[in-house]
Amino acid sequence: MSDNLISDAEAVRLRHSVRQYKPDPIEPSKVSLITDLIREINAESGLGLQFIGDAGKTYNRLFNRMSGLGSAPSVIACVGPDDSSLDRRVGYYGEKLVLFAQKIGLNTCWTGTFNARNLDADIPAGQRLVICIAIGYGTGSGRERRSRTAAQISSAEGSRPAWFDEGVNMALLAPTALNQQKFLIRLNSDESVDFIDKGGAFSQVDLGIVMRHFEIGSGRKQIPD
Instruction: Please state, in angstroms and rounded to a whole number, the distance separating the CA atoms of residues 158 and 172.
Output: 21
**Integer angstrom CA distances of residue 127 from 94, 98, 124:** 16, 22, 6
The answer, yes or no, to whether residue 1 has pLDDT greater than 60, is no
The answer, yes or no, to whether residue 116 has pLDDT greater than 90, is no
Residue 37: band (very low, low, confident or very high) from pLDDT cuts 50, 70, 90: very high
pLDDT of 28:
97
Residue 114: band (very low, low, confident or very high) from pLDDT cuts 50, 70, 90: confident
62-66, 73-77, 160-164: lowest mean pLDDT where?
Answer: 62-66
Domains and CATH numbers, the chain: 2-136 (3.40.109.10), 150-218 (no CATH)
Instruction: Specify whether the CB–CB gap between 164 and 142 falls below 8 A.
Output: no
pLDDT of 31:
98
Q: What would the mean pLDDT of 121-146 be, rounded to a whole number?
A: 94
Would you list the DSSP string of 65-113?
A: HHHTGGG--EEEEEEEE-STTHHHHHHHHHHHHHHHHHHTT-EEEEES-
Q: Can you tell me whether residue 206 is helix, strand or coil?
A: helix
22-26, 93-97, 142-146, 156-160: lowest mean pLDDT where?
Answer: 142-146
pLDDT of 176:
95
Rounded percentage of the chain residues whose pLDDT exceeds 70: 95
